[in-house]
Structure 1
Amino acid sequence: MEKAMVVGASGGMGYALVMELVSRGIEVVAFARGKEKLDGLFGDKELVKIHTGDAENKDQLIHAAKGSEIIFHALNIPYEEWKHKLSTITGNIILAAEQNNARLAVVDNIYAYGKSGGTFLTEDREKHPHTRKGKLRLEMDRMIKQSSVPALICHFPDFYGPNATNTYIHFTLEQLLKKKKAGFVGPKNVVREFMYTRDGAKAMVDLASLDEAYGQNWNIPAVAPITGNEVEQILKRQLGEEKGLYSISKTMFAVFSLFAGKGMREALEMQYINSEPTILSGEKVDGLLGKRQHTSYEQGIAETVAFLRG
């Protein structure tokens, strides 16, 4: 791979993908709407070509993707826009890949799986989404697989990391840097997964570089499951013993959403993920890539805090 395009390059996972590709000497087209943010993130990177545009405009995507061998779809639109925009944007990205004879690597979440039932989620598990957003993600999956584009889809747990601003961990850290107490969404005693974006990007680029990875879905688990109580202890060690987390229950989340705008209200149906163990199996990806190096939560949180502090 000599050239790739990252759609949604100004987001958390998009940023990590651009940086991972550049670290491998690959030329990258960083595609997103906001030029100022793109300039701030990549303005000093010789291998990055900044291309502002709107993924709802298929002509802009097709033009930007010229010469790219792989298009990485890392665009994350607000929940409230999924119903009206997700299929359009997916179709445009597929078309851009078709028109440029490019492959497609897609960042996806775990919503299409539905409830885990407390078991590890494997790629061959039949998907039965019970939420509107899970059904929309499953429809996106079908659109990609029904196209003529060689594609792979990576399922990730919740992200955290440098520039990953639209995440629960970012919300918690941002609060904790200003105050002694911060909210942690979900029960603190339930095991969860949080994917450090740099680890996720490395695994995804590794997969995108292998012919045999295409035509398949891949679950990419985090370094290990972790509870909110364990996250709190890491934060105390790094930020001071006076720091602490309080649990934001589903009921509290529902009350907050009444006053916090449509985006938070749209997130309410996804709170089942935070209240039961929803853990991805990494058996398949480890079988192809071998045992991967992971960033510890201790190091990942420290690097995320450093980025937040500038």
Structure 2
Amino acid sequence: MKKALVIGASGGMGYALVMELVSRGVDVVAFARGIEKLEELFSSEEKVTLVAGDAGIKEELNFAAKGVDVIFHALNLPYEQWKDKLLPITQNIIHAAEENGAKLAMVDNIYAYGKSGGNRLTENMEKKPHTKKGKLRKVMGETIQQSSIPSLICHFPDFYGPNATNTYMHFTLDQLLKKRKGGFVGPSDIEREFIFTKDGARVMVELALQDDAYGHCWNIPAVSTITGRDFEKMVKGQLGSDKQLYYITKPMFALYALVAGKGMREAVEMQYINTEPTILSGEKLEKFLGTMEWTPYETGIKETINYMNKKTEQLV
């Protein structure tokens, strides 16, 4: 891979992918809607070309994809735009890959799997989504797999890390950095997993470099599972023992969403992920790539907090 396009480069996972690719000597086209954000993130990176554009416009994607070997699809649309834009944008990305002879690596979540039934989610499980968004993600994945382009799909749990602002963990940490208490979405005692974006990007790029990885879905699990209480203990260790979490249950989330706007209301149906164990199996990945090194939560949270503090200082 000599040149790659990252769609959604200004988001949390997109940012991590760009930086991982650059660290491996790959030339990167960083594509997102806002040029200001792209400049803020990547203006000092010599191997990154900034292209502001709209993935909903086929011609703009085709322009950005000229001469690339792999397209990384890391675009994260707001929930309220999924119904109208998710599948048309998917078709535009497929077309851009076809037009330029590129492979496609897609960042996906776990919504298409549906409820776990108490089992770890494996790639060979039948996908039975029970939510509107899960059904859309299932169709999206099938559309990519049925296309003529070489593709791989990576299923990730919730993200956290530098620049990963649209995440549950960022919501919690942002509150704790500003005041004594922070809200944690979900019960205190349910096993959860959050993947550090740098780990996710490293594994995804490694897969994209392997010809045999294409034509497959891949589950990319976190280093381990944690509970809300585990997270609270880590936060106290880093921000001080006076910091506390309050736990936002599904009924509380639904009540808040009634007054918080359409974006929050759209998130209510996905709260099953936060209220029951929905954990990915990494067995297939480990068999293919071998044992991987994962960032401990304490280290990843510390780096995330440092990044958030630095951004706050720059705004002052």
> Normalising by structure 1, what TM-score?
1.00
TM alignment of 1:51-70, pairs within 5 A: 51-70=51-70
CA deviation after TM superposition for structure 1 residue 201, in Å: 0.2
1:259 Cα deviation (Å)?
1.2
Which deviations, in whole Å up to 9, do the C-alpha atoms of 1:202-255 show, x marking residues without a partner?
A: 000000000000000000000001101000000000000000111000010011
Q: Which residue of 1 aligns with 2:121?
A: 121
In structure 1, what residue type is equivalent to 2:225? P
TM superposition shift of 1:286: 0.6
Residue 16, structure 1, aligned to residue 16, structure 2: yes
| CA-to-aligned-CA distance 1:104-154 (integer Å, 9 cap, x gap) | 000000000000011110000000000000000000011101110100000
Partner of 2:313: none
**Residue 74 (structure 1) aligns with:** 74
Instruction: Report the equivalent of 2:183.
Output: 183
Structure 1 CA distance for aligned equivalents of residues 257 and 215 of structure 2 = 39
Q: Which amino acid aligns with 1:132?
A: K
- CA distance in structure 1 between the aligned counterparts of 2:87 and 2:274, rounded to whole angstroms: 26
Give the residue type in structure 2 aligned to 1:211.
D
Write out per-residue CA displacement over residues 55-111 of structure 1, whole angstroms, 9 at most, x where no aligned residue: 000100001100100000000000000000000110000000000000000000000
Q: CA deviation at 1:24?
A: 0.3
Root-mean-square deviation over aligned CA pairs: 0.4
Tell me, in whole angstroms, the C-alpha distance in 2 between the residues paired with 1:44 and 1:295. Answer: 26
Matches within 5 A, 1:1-310: 1-310=1-310
The amino acid across from 1:195 in the alignment is I
Q: Residue type of the partner of 2:67?
A: G
Summarize deviations over 1:265-293 as a string: whole Å, max 9, x none: 00000000001111100000011111000
Deviation at 1:188, TM superposition (A): 1.1
For 2:226, the aligned partner's letter is I
| 3-state secondary structure, aligned to 2:66 | coil
**Structure 1 letter corresponding to 2:64:** A
**Percent identity (aligned):** 65
Letter in 1 for 2:209: S
| Structure 2 length-normalised TM | 0.98
Give aligned pairs, total: 310
SS in 2 for 1:154: strand
Aligned to 2:314: none
**Residue deviations 1:133-190, cap 9 Å, x none?**
0000000011101110100000000000000000000000000000101000000100
Instruction: In structure 1, give the amino acid aligned to 2:112.
Output: A
The residue identity in structure 2 corresponding to 1:148 is: S
SS of 1:49's equivalent in the other structure is strand
Amino acid at match of 1:229: R
Letter in 1 for 2:149: V
Gaps of 5+ in 1: none
Residue identity matched to 1:32: A
User: What CA deviation, in whole Å up to 9, does each residue of 1:28-60 have, x standing for no partner?
Assistant: 000000000000000000000000000000100
C-alpha distance in 2 between matches for 1:37 and 1:141: 28
User: Hey, what's the Cα distance between the residues in 1 that align with 2:132 and 2:188?
Assistant: 26
